[in-house]
Amino acid sequence: MHTASPTHHLTVPDGTRLAHRDHTPSPPAPETGPVLLLHGLAGHQGEWDDLVPRLLADGHRVVTYDARGHGASTRRPATVTRACHVRDAVALIEHLALAPVTLVGQSLGGHTAMLLAAHHPDLVRSLVLVEAGPGGPSPELPDRTARWLDSWPVPFASPEEARRFLGHRAWAAGLERRPDGWHPRFDRTTMIDTVSELATTAYWDAWSRVTSPTLLVRGEHGTLTEQDATKALTRRPATRHVLVPDAGHDVHLDQPGRLHEEIARFLTDV
Protein backbone atom coordinates (compact mmCIF):
# COMPACT_ATOMS: atom_id res chain seq x y z
CA MET A 1 0.00 0.00 0.00
CA HIS A 2 1.16 3.54 -0.67
CA THR A 3 -0.15 7.06 -0.93
CA ALA A 4 0.60 9.05 -4.04
CA SER A 5 0.27 12.79 -4.06
CA PRO A 6 -1.64 14.55 -6.80
CA THR A 7 0.27 16.49 -9.41
CA HIS A 8 1.91 19.64 -8.04
CA HIS A 9 3.81 22.39 -9.81
CA LEU A 10 7.12 24.00 -8.92
CA THR A 11 7.99 27.28 -10.62
CA VAL A 12 11.71 27.65 -11.24
CA PRO A 13 13.49 31.04 -11.56
CA ASP A 14 12.99 31.41 -15.33
CA GLY A 15 9.22 31.02 -14.89
CA THR A 16 8.97 27.40 -16.07
CA ARG A 17 6.42 25.33 -14.13
CA LEU A 18 7.41 21.72 -13.49
CA ALA A 19 4.62 19.21 -12.94
CA HIS A 20 5.69 16.57 -10.42
CA ARG A 21 4.31 13.81 -8.20
CA ASP A 22 5.70 12.71 -4.85
CA HIS A 23 4.97 9.06 -4.02
CA THR A 24 5.59 7.90 -0.46
CA PRO A 25 5.64 4.31 0.79
CA SER A 26 3.58 3.18 3.75
CA PRO A 27 5.15 2.62 6.15
CA PRO A 28 8.08 4.85 5.19
CA ALA A 29 11.56 3.36 5.13
CA PRO A 30 13.95 6.33 5.18
CA GLU A 31 17.05 4.15 5.11
CA THR A 32 16.30 3.10 1.53
CA GLY A 33 16.69 6.64 0.23
CA PRO A 34 14.52 8.57 -2.24
CA VAL A 35 14.52 8.03 -6.01
CA LEU A 36 13.99 10.66 -8.72
CA LEU A 37 12.83 9.32 -12.11
CA LEU A 38 13.64 11.28 -15.29
CA HIS A 39 11.83 10.40 -18.55
CA GLY A 40 13.18 10.75 -22.09
CA LEU A 41 12.53 13.06 -25.03
CA ALA A 42 8.85 13.50 -25.99
CA GLY A 43 7.88 11.44 -22.94
CA HIS A 44 6.12 12.15 -19.67
CA GLN A 45 6.24 11.09 -16.04
CA GLY A 46 3.44 8.54 -16.50
CA GLU A 47 5.95 6.29 -18.28
CA TRP A 48 7.19 5.30 -14.83
CA ASP A 49 3.79 4.11 -13.56
CA ASP A 50 4.86 0.46 -13.69
CA LEU A 51 8.17 1.03 -11.91
CA VAL A 52 6.90 3.39 -9.18
CA PRO A 53 4.91 0.83 -7.14
CA ARG A 54 7.79 -1.65 -7.35
CA LEU A 55 10.20 0.90 -5.88
CA LEU A 56 7.63 1.92 -3.28
CA ALA A 57 7.32 -1.71 -2.22
CA ASP A 58 11.07 -1.65 -1.58
CA GLY A 59 10.54 1.29 0.78
CA HIS A 60 11.71 4.13 -1.47
CA ARG A 61 10.11 7.53 -1.68
CA VAL A 62 9.71 8.09 -5.44
CA VAL A 63 9.38 11.41 -7.25
CA THR A 64 8.48 11.75 -10.93
CA TYR A 65 8.16 14.89 -13.05
CA ASP A 66 7.47 16.15 -16.55
CA ALA A 67 10.56 17.79 -18.00
CA ARG A 68 10.18 21.34 -19.28
CA GLY A 69 8.39 21.36 -22.61
CA HIS A 70 6.73 18.03 -21.83
CA GLY A 71 3.44 16.79 -20.40
CA ALA A 72 1.85 19.05 -17.81
CA SER A 73 4.94 21.23 -17.40
CA THR A 74 5.36 24.53 -19.27
CA ARG A 75 4.92 23.67 -22.93
CA ARG A 76 7.01 26.48 -24.43
CA PRO A 77 9.73 27.32 -21.91
CA ALA A 78 12.11 30.19 -22.54
CA THR A 79 15.03 27.82 -23.02
CA VAL A 80 15.61 24.08 -23.29
CA THR A 81 19.38 23.84 -22.84
CA ARG A 82 21.01 20.91 -21.13
CA ALA A 83 22.01 23.24 -18.28
CA CYS A 84 18.44 24.36 -17.64
CA HIS A 85 17.24 20.75 -17.53
CA VAL A 86 19.87 20.05 -14.89
CA ARG A 87 18.83 23.14 -12.94
CA ASP A 88 15.21 21.96 -13.01
CA ALA A 89 16.14 18.61 -11.47
CA VAL A 90 18.31 20.34 -8.87
CA ALA A 91 15.41 22.67 -8.00
CA LEU A 92 13.11 19.69 -7.43
CA ILE A 93 15.69 17.87 -5.32
CA GLU A 94 16.18 20.93 -3.14
CA HIS A 95 12.49 21.87 -2.98
CA LEU A 96 11.47 18.36 -1.90
CA ALA A 97 14.57 17.77 0.28
CA LEU A 98 15.53 14.60 -1.61
CA ALA A 99 19.32 14.76 -1.31
CA PRO A 100 21.18 12.53 -1.43
CA VAL A 101 18.95 10.98 -4.07
CA THR A 102 19.20 8.07 -6.48
CA LEU A 103 18.69 9.29 -10.04
CA VAL A 104 17.10 6.93 -12.56
CA GLY A 105 17.00 8.42 -16.04
CA GLN A 106 16.05 6.98 -19.43
CA SER A 107 17.45 8.33 -22.69
CA LEU A 108 17.51 12.16 -22.52
CA GLY A 109 16.46 11.98 -18.87
CA GLY A 110 19.48 9.78 -18.22
CA HIS A 111 21.71 12.34 -19.88
CA THR A 112 20.28 15.02 -17.57
CA ALA A 113 20.87 12.73 -14.59
CA MET A 114 24.47 12.13 -15.64
CA LEU A 115 25.20 15.85 -15.94
CA LEU A 116 23.57 16.48 -12.56
CA ALA A 117 25.71 13.80 -10.93
CA ALA A 118 28.83 15.25 -12.55
CA HIS A 119 28.23 18.81 -11.43
CA HIS A 120 26.35 18.31 -8.14
CA PRO A 121 27.86 15.18 -6.57
CA ASP A 122 26.71 16.22 -3.10
CA LEU A 123 23.07 15.79 -4.18
CA VAL A 124 23.42 12.29 -5.63
CA ARG A 125 23.55 8.96 -3.80
CA SER A 126 23.70 6.77 -6.90
CA LEU A 127 22.99 6.91 -10.62
CA VAL A 128 21.06 4.58 -12.94
CA LEU A 129 21.27 5.30 -16.67
CA VAL A 130 18.79 3.47 -18.88
CA GLU A 131 19.78 3.59 -22.55
CA ALA A 132 21.73 6.77 -21.86
CA GLY A 133 25.34 7.87 -21.74
CA PRO A 134 27.83 10.61 -22.67
CA GLY A 135 27.78 9.97 -26.41
CA GLY A 136 27.99 12.65 -29.05
CA PRO A 137 28.46 14.63 -30.98
CA SER A 138 25.48 13.42 -33.04
CA PRO A 139 25.03 15.80 -36.00
CA GLU A 140 22.14 13.79 -37.42
CA LEU A 141 20.06 13.84 -34.21
CA PRO A 142 17.89 16.94 -34.84
CA ASP A 143 16.95 15.77 -38.34
CA ARG A 144 16.32 12.23 -37.12
CA THR A 145 14.13 13.57 -34.32
CA ALA A 146 12.18 15.72 -36.79
CA ARG A 147 11.58 12.77 -39.12
CA TRP A 148 10.43 10.62 -36.20
CA LEU A 149 7.96 13.23 -34.97
CA ASP A 150 6.73 13.94 -38.49
CA SER A 151 5.98 10.23 -38.95
CA TRP A 152 3.29 10.38 -36.25
CA PRO A 153 -0.16 10.32 -37.93
CA VAL A 154 -1.49 13.13 -35.75
CA PRO A 155 -4.21 13.48 -34.70
CA PHE A 156 -4.77 9.92 -33.58
CA ALA A 157 -8.39 8.83 -33.75
CA SER A 158 -8.20 7.06 -30.38
CA PRO A 159 -5.74 6.10 -27.63
CA GLU A 160 -5.81 2.55 -28.96
CA GLU A 161 -4.74 3.69 -32.41
CA ALA A 162 -1.96 5.71 -30.78
CA ARG A 163 -0.87 2.70 -28.74
CA ARG A 164 -0.64 0.55 -31.87
CA PHE A 165 1.47 3.14 -33.65
CA LEU A 166 3.68 4.25 -30.74
CA GLY A 167 4.13 0.75 -29.34
CA HIS A 168 3.21 1.28 -25.70
CA ARG A 169 0.11 2.27 -23.79
CA ALA A 170 2.23 4.62 -21.68
CA TRP A 171 3.11 6.68 -24.76
CA ALA A 172 -0.56 6.92 -25.72
CA ALA A 173 -1.39 8.00 -22.17
CA GLY A 174 0.78 11.06 -22.70
CA LEU A 175 -1.50 12.47 -25.40
CA GLU A 176 -4.18 15.12 -24.95
CA ARG A 177 -7.67 15.03 -26.40
CA ARG A 178 -8.82 17.84 -28.68
CA PRO A 179 -12.01 18.12 -30.76
CA ASP A 180 -10.35 16.52 -33.79
CA GLY A 181 -8.56 13.70 -31.95
CA TRP A 182 -5.52 12.95 -29.78
CA HIS A 183 -2.39 15.11 -29.96
CA PRO A 184 1.06 15.11 -28.31
CA ARG A 185 1.46 17.32 -25.24
CA PHE A 186 4.58 18.97 -26.63
CA ASP A 187 5.65 21.16 -29.54
CA ARG A 188 7.70 19.72 -32.38
CA THR A 189 10.08 22.70 -32.44
CA THR A 190 10.70 22.46 -28.70
CA MET A 191 11.65 18.80 -29.00
CA ILE A 192 14.12 19.48 -31.81
CA ASP A 193 15.63 22.41 -29.91
CA THR A 194 15.96 20.19 -26.84
CA VAL A 195 18.40 17.86 -28.61
CA SER A 196 20.33 20.58 -30.47
CA GLU A 197 23.30 20.60 -28.07
CA LEU A 198 23.67 16.84 -28.38
CA ALA A 199 24.24 17.33 -32.10
CA THR A 200 27.42 19.32 -31.54
CA THR A 201 28.73 18.30 -28.13
CA ALA A 202 30.23 15.23 -26.48
CA TYR A 203 30.00 14.82 -22.71
CA TRP A 204 32.83 12.42 -21.88
CA ASP A 205 34.45 14.93 -19.53
CA ALA A 206 31.23 15.08 -17.51
CA TRP A 207 31.07 11.28 -17.45
CA SER A 208 34.62 11.12 -16.09
CA ARG A 209 33.67 13.54 -13.30
CA VAL A 210 30.85 11.36 -11.97
CA THR A 211 31.80 9.83 -8.62
CA SER A 212 28.44 8.29 -7.70
CA PRO A 213 28.03 4.50 -7.94
CA THR A 214 26.56 3.95 -11.40
CA LEU A 215 24.46 1.31 -13.14
CA LEU A 216 24.36 1.41 -16.94
CA VAL A 217 21.37 -0.43 -18.43
CA ARG A 218 21.11 -1.26 -22.13
CA GLY A 219 18.27 -2.88 -24.03
CA GLU A 220 19.23 -5.83 -26.19
CA HIS A 221 17.66 -4.03 -29.15
CA GLY A 222 18.26 -0.49 -27.90
CA THR A 223 20.09 2.46 -29.42
CA LEU A 224 22.96 2.81 -26.95
CA THR A 225 25.75 1.20 -28.92
CA GLU A 226 28.12 -1.44 -27.61
CA GLN A 227 30.97 0.82 -28.70
CA ASP A 228 29.76 3.71 -26.52
CA ALA A 229 29.04 1.38 -23.61
CA THR A 230 32.54 -0.09 -23.84
CA LYS A 231 34.07 3.39 -23.95
CA ALA A 232 32.04 4.43 -20.90
CA LEU A 233 33.12 1.35 -18.96
CA THR A 234 36.75 1.88 -19.94
CA ARG A 235 36.68 5.41 -18.56
CA ARG A 236 34.87 4.39 -15.38
CA PRO A 237 35.59 0.68 -14.79
CA ALA A 238 33.62 0.54 -11.53
CA THR A 239 30.38 1.15 -13.44
CA ARG A 240 27.99 -1.81 -13.36
CA HIS A 241 26.63 -2.76 -16.77
CA VAL A 242 23.64 -4.94 -17.62
CA LEU A 243 22.05 -5.88 -20.95
CA VAL A 244 18.31 -6.52 -20.71
CA PRO A 245 17.06 -9.13 -23.17
CA ASP A 246 13.92 -8.58 -25.27
CA ALA A 247 14.06 -4.83 -24.69
CA GLY A 248 14.54 -1.89 -27.00
CA HIS A 249 15.30 1.73 -26.16
CA ASP A 250 12.32 1.87 -23.78
CA VAL A 251 13.60 -0.73 -21.34
CA HIS A 252 11.36 0.69 -18.62
CA LEU A 253 8.31 -0.09 -20.77
CA ASP A 254 9.50 -3.26 -22.50
CA GLN A 255 10.81 -5.01 -19.37
CA PRO A 256 9.80 -3.04 -16.25
CA GLY A 257 10.06 -6.08 -13.98
CA ARG A 258 13.55 -6.94 -15.13
CA LEU A 259 14.62 -3.29 -14.88
CA HIS A 260 13.33 -3.14 -11.32
CA GLU A 261 15.24 -6.30 -10.41
CA GLU A 262 18.48 -4.80 -11.70
CA ILE A 263 17.90 -1.48 -9.92
CA ALA A 264 16.95 -3.19 -6.66
CA ARG A 265 20.03 -5.43 -6.78
CA PHE A 266 22.26 -2.46 -7.55
CA LEU A 267 20.83 -0.31 -4.74
CA THR A 268 21.12 -3.17 -2.26
CA ASP A 269 24.79 -3.60 -3.14
CA VAL A 270 25.41 0.14 -2.97
CA dist 39 and 65 (Å) reads 8
Residue 2 pLDDT grade (very low, low, confident, very high; cuts 50, 70, 90): very low
Query: 2-138+199-269 — its CATH code?
Result: 3.40.50.1820
- For residues 201-229, average pLDDT: 97
pTM, two decimals, is 0.97
Residue 27's pLDDT is what? Answer: 80
Residue 54's pLDDT is what? Answer: 97
Residue 26 pLDDT grade (very low, low, confident, very high; cuts 50, 70, 90): confident
Share of the chain above pLDDT 70, in %: 98
Residues 6+ apart with CB under 8 A from 30: none
CA dist 73 and 42 (Å) reads 12
**Helix, strand, coil shares, percent, the chain, to 5:** 40, 20, 35
Residue 68's pLDDT is what? Answer: 98
Question: In the chain, what are the domain boundaries?
Answer: 2-138+199-269
For 72-84, write each residue's pLDDT tens digit.
Answer: 999 999 999 999 9
Q: How many residues appear in the chain?
A: 270
CA dist 57 and 112 (Å) reads 26
Peptide bond into 27 cis (omega under 30): yes
